[in-house]
């Protein structure tokens, strides 16, 4: 039986581990013993307590495994990816790091490694779907709107982070790169706000974020944008935090000590953003793909599972990751190098495999061509 190791025991990492444990020998690594204990209460999965900030430690831990799953915060993602590739190990990664993964493409090919990056819901599932169509039609326009939100709205933030909270702050800080008329345009995050209403959720606001990522290099689509959803009012508040410097990485001196404002802000915000036991969430993903006189739309509306307690964000992100992980483990996808999800989507069998797997987890994907319901 093949062996898989999951680096990171957050809500999504644990969901990935539990899903893969049905077919593979799974180990989960984290420095937080409490998170690992919660996992062990529900599943017979091997756990290791270790600080994964050390690249040498990562290389020591992963040596006996067939596949590595990267489920760490974005600030650890690129270094982890580099460590795994340098050891010649295949990896499927979901972390939201700012670095360009293609910097590691040559090494991955030299090491005969398949390194799938950005393999969540968006980027991830969205890229797989776009990759399928981009391989088969000339796409002129792509728009992705995505968001994960708590069902219960609680002021002042009306938000809970069902994935790494530090990566939520990154979404608010990082400039958004979009394509307009064939030109790369960079805008501040949280700009070009649209008010939308999707699936009777009430009004939501969609705003620019830097979610296109690898698509800016791997496609030649003249118009592309990705926007994130929040309840109205949240972004106005986050802009105040950002513009006042609360999210800055540069150290400042206070009381004779040097601190990063973002570290203090994170410490203060995270208790408000951490979901309590039993908090329900929902995930919305809508895609518009236009070209060749056709318009394809995809809609996903998913809610947390009341029976398992698994959040919707963990479901939609985690099961996309495990679907792709199975492709790699079973040698159904074996191209080497840095593999963004759109490469997987370009392969029809792999694309169908992922969509069928995700749909089998009761995550419904509605696909329409010019308004008419169709299959892939």
Q: How many Å separate Cα 113 from the centre of its chain?
A: 21
In 3D, which of 265, 228, 221 has the Cα closest to residue 243? 265
> Do 345 and 329 belong together in one domain?
yes
Distance between CA atoms of 86 and 84, rounded to whole angstroms?
5
Tell me, what's the pLDDT at 47?
A: 96
Q: Provide the pLDDT confidence category of residue 198 given band limits of 50, 70 and 90.
A: confident
> Do 101 and 135 belong together in one domain?
no
> Do 250 and 135 belong together in one domain?
yes
**Strands (DSSP E) along 108-175, which ranges?**
114-116, 141-150
Range of the domain at 72: 3-121+314-360
Tell me, what's the pLDDT at 40?
A: 85
Is the separation of the CB atoms in 300 and 282 below 8 Å?
Answer: no
Tell me, what's the pLDDT at 163?
A: 81
Phi and psi for 100 in degrees, rounded to 5? -80, 115
Which range in 35-39, 122-126, 152-156, 165-169 is most confidently predicted, on average pLDDT?
122-126
Mean per-residue pLDDT over the chain, rounded: 95
Least confident of 55-59, 79-83, 324-328: 55-59
> Do 25 and 82 belong together in one domain?
yes
Contacts 24+ apart (CB under 8 A), 235-242: 235/190, 235/193, 235/205, 235/207, 237/156, 237/157, 238/172, 238/190, 239/190, 241/172, 241/265, 242/172, 242/173, 242/189, 242/190
Q: Provide the pLDDT confidence category of residue 376 given band limits of 50, 70 and 90.
A: confident
For the question of whether the overall pTM of this predicted structure is more than 0.85, the answer is: yes
Task: Look at the chain and report how many structural domains it folds into.
Answer: 2
Average pLDDT over residues 35-56: 90
258-282 pLDDT, tens digit per residue, is 999 999 999 999 999 999 888 999 9
Residue 375 lies in a domain: no
> Do 227 and 337 belong together in one domain?
no
Residue 38 pLDDT > 90, yes or no? no
Of residues 281 and 40, more confidently modeled: 281
283-329 pLDDT, tens digit per residue, is 999 999 999 999 999 999 999 999 999 999 999 999 999 999 999 99
Mark 281-310 as b/e (b = at least 16 C-beta within 10 Å): bbbbbbbebbbeeeebbbbbbbebbeeeeb
> Do 328 and 283 belong together in one domain?
no
Residue 76 lies in a domain: yes
Q: What percent of the chain has pLDDT over 90?
A: 91
């Amino acid at each position: 039986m093949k062996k898989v190791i999951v680096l990171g025991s957050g809500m999504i990492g644990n969901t990935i581990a539990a899903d893969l444990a049905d077919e593979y020998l799974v180990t989960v690594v984290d420095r937080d013993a409490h998170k690992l204990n919660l996992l062990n209460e529900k599943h017979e999965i091997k756990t290791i307590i270790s600080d994964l900030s050390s690249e040498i430690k990562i290389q020591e831990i992963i040596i006996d495994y067939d596949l590595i799953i990267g489920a760490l915060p974005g600030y650890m993602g690129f270094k982890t990816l580099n460590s795994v590739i340098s050891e010649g190990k295949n990896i499927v990664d979901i972390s939201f790091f700012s670095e360009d993964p293609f910097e590691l493409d040559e090494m991955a090919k030299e090491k005969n490694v398949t390194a799938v990056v950005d393999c969540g819901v968006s980027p991830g599932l969205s890229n797989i779907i776009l990759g399928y169509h981009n391989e088969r039609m000339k796409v002129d326009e792509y728009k992705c709107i995505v968001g994960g939100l708590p069902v219960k709205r609680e002021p002042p933030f009306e938000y809970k982070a069902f994935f790494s909270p530090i990566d939520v702050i990154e979404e608010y800080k990082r400039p958004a790169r979009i394509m307009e008329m064939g030109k790369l345009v960079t805008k501040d995050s949280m700009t070009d706000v649209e008010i939308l209403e999707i699936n009777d959720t009430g009004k939501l606001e969609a705003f620019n974020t830097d979610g296109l990522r690898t698509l800016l290099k791997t496609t030649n689509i003249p118009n592309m944008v990705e926007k994130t959803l929040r309840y109205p009012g949240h972004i106005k508040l986050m802009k105040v935090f950002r513009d006042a410097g609360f999210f800055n990485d540069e150290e400042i001196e206070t009381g004779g000590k040097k601190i990063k404002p973002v570290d203090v802000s994170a410490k203060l915000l995270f208790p408000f953003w951490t979901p309590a036991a039993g908090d329900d969430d929902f995930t919305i993903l809508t895609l518009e793909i236009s070209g060749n006189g056709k318009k394809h739309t995809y809609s996903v509306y998913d809610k947390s599972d009341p029976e398992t307690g698994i959040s919707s964000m963990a479901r939609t992100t985690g099961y996309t990751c495990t679907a792709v992980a199975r492709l790699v483990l079973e040698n159904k996808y074996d191209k080497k190098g840095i593999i963004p999800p759109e490469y997987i989507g370009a392969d029809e069998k792999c694309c169908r495999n992922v969509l069928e797997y995700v749909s089998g987890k009761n995550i419904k994907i509605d696909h329409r061509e010019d308004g008419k319901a169709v299959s892939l």
